[in-house]
Amino acid sequence: MSHLKKQKLYHGGIVLLLSIVVGLVPILQLWRTGLVYSGSDLQFHVNRIDEVANSFSHGQFFNILSFTTSNQLGSSVNMFYPYVTLIPAVIIKLIIHNPVNAFYISVWIYNVSTFLIAYLSFKNLSKSSTTGIWGALLLSMSMYRLFSLLGTSAFGEFIAIGLLPLVGWGYNRAIIEHKWGTLYVAVTLIAYTHLLSFCITVSLLVVITLVRWLLNPRFSFAELLTLIKAGVAMALSWSTFLIPYLILTKNNHIETPYSTLVFQSLKPFNALLFDYHFSRDLGLILVIANILFIVLWKKFSSVDKLIFGGGCLLVFLSSAAFPWPAYTETFFKSMQFPYRFLAFAVVILSYTGGLAIAQLLTGKQVIYRITTSMILLFITVSATFATINTYKASVLDHYQLVEKTQDRLTYSPFAHYAVNEETFDNQTKNAFITYGGLDYWTRKASDHREFFLSDDVHLQKKYLGNRTIQFTLLNTQNRKNVEIPIIYYSGIKYSVKGDNKPLAYKSGKNGGLLVHSKEAGVHRITVTSHIGWLESLLRLTALLPMIPLALSKWRHVSQ
């Protein structure tokens, strides 16, 4: 092995070790309590993860309806809310039987992947390993990102933030090298992670492209063609999710999270910069790093300065200083919370902060670089530990360990209760009733939710299986039609059998499946869901963009 290869392996090992340590820092104190502080949002995602894990355990890798979680009523939540990047958490759940350990290990893995993706992206953008390391560290420890998971359990947004640096690198490759693969992979992963983050990402890329063309009017057909290729490839790969989503949205009146612009809780601009509590803000070390960028302003290129300006603009858009009340009835309301712009600001300012720290260390003696790095690292880790410790103390004082909730909880993304190893899985067994189990129901089913949530609606016992729910129907009268508490979605095909004989079905008055049952007595009803030939076709379509990428890689290796 050559000296250069050994050096690369050594450097790669150091980066991997650093990512593992950095990924553990934000969760170690909470993990040691043996508790998870949970609420509506986390329960929602726990049900999604558990449903996909059940599906995987039965050899089914394309989940359709939720028959084992989310009130066990055939909810289509996983058809409306992408789950592909939840697969690492699903695999951990299948391997680790202690649910609390599985949760924190999953978060640890996402932290490590965020660090490595940010390092690789920032390093290639800046051509500097130092920028890559410090940018990744700043992003991994940013308060907004940590609060998105530990504070509000916004799993989708939390994972999407870790993918955003890859979008920046991919866009740079598209406009400079005219290579579309990285941008396609990055945006597709975000599309399969969090729809709102995807919409904001695409919107910002369009705005950035238009601004660039205005500032530099020389039209590049090659660049435009590359961006179109990335867009078409992303659309093809996303079709597996998008087309069923559109079919169900068109054919059903779906009850979704409210679509309104919530600006009342936005922080003042200065609070985002100087509020260092555990909340949606930038955090101490990120502010220090970007103050350093301003101090060293003359040392940076005009492009870097524009990137910094873009990050500051996004912070402004995330604050109460922007006149959001004037936009309540515009398309911005689909974004729900303007503070989402802060996630993108954090990624950009992590990059510029990494540039600033790298510039501070460049050309200096070894002792200076080591001392300065240790001081900055100490500030970063200490600030994160102190902030998380304060949060831990507050939740320990306010949220008690509970096994179940009798009353429906008012929705709040923040913690409602604490669960431990014994009670964690109760969140997927209807012991905790929150909004999460009602999302993405049909409007008719939502209007008759008591029919679905009742413990005694024609049911004696459920037998759960892969894409199938089986239960005993207590039909004590001679009547032709009986509505069973399985949500009916137009666009989904159901196979309904009574005592192993096919039964006709349609939508009932409550929004459930109305099955045809002539005879009185006890009947075993089995319901299976599927999409049919379209499902298989869409899977093949999603793989099409991989072919030119694989061929291009093969040519590169063979040469």
Residue 488's pLDDT is 92
Mean pLDDT of 385-414: 68
Residue 68's pLDDT is 81
DSSP helix/strand/coil, 95: helix
- Cα end-to-end span (Å), the chain: 21
CB 451 within 8 A of CB 485: yes
More confident residue, 520 or 390: 390
Which tens digits make up the pLDDT trace of 126-173?
A: 999 999 999 999 999 998 898 888 877 788 899 999 999 999 999 999
Share of the chain above pLDDT 90, in %: 37
Residue 290's pLDDT is 95
Residue 124, amino acid: N
Mean pLDDT of 218-247: 87
The mean-pLDDT minimum among 58-67, 224-233, 377-386, 498-507 falls in 58-67
Which tens digits make up the pLDDT trace of 71-113?
A: 778 888 888 888 889 999 999 999 999 999 999 999 999 999 9
* Length, in residues, of the chain: 559
Assign 457 a pLDDT band (cuts: 50, 70, 90): low
DSSP helix/strand/coil, 442: strand
The mean-pLDDT minimum among 41-50, 128-137, 450-459 falls in 450-459
Q: Would you say residue 184 has pLDDT above 90?
A: yes
Mean pLDDT of 369-378: 91
**What is the C-alpha to C-alpha distance for residues 166 and 163, in angstroms, rounded to an integer?**
6
**Cα distances (Å, whole numbers) of residue 104 to 109, 220, 403:** 9, 47, 20
Which DSSP helix (H) or strand (E) runs through 46? Answer: helix 40-57
- Other CB atoms within a 10 A radius of the CB of residue 364 amount to 12
Residue 153's pLDDT is 78
**The pTM is what?**
0.90
Exposed e or buried b per residue across 291-329, where buried means at least 16 C-beta atoms within 10 angstroms of its C-beta: ebbeeeeeebeeebeebbebbbebbebbbbebebeeeee
Residue 347's pLDDT is 97
Domains in the chain, CATH or no CATH each: 3-32+82-394 (no CATH), 449-537 (2.60.40)
Assign 274 a pLDDT band (cuts: 50, 70, 90): confident
Assign 7 a pLDDT band (cuts: 50, 70, 90): confident
Q: For residue 15, which of 142, 134, 169 has the smallest C-alpha distance?
A: 134
Q: Would you say residue 119 has pLDDT above 90?
A: yes
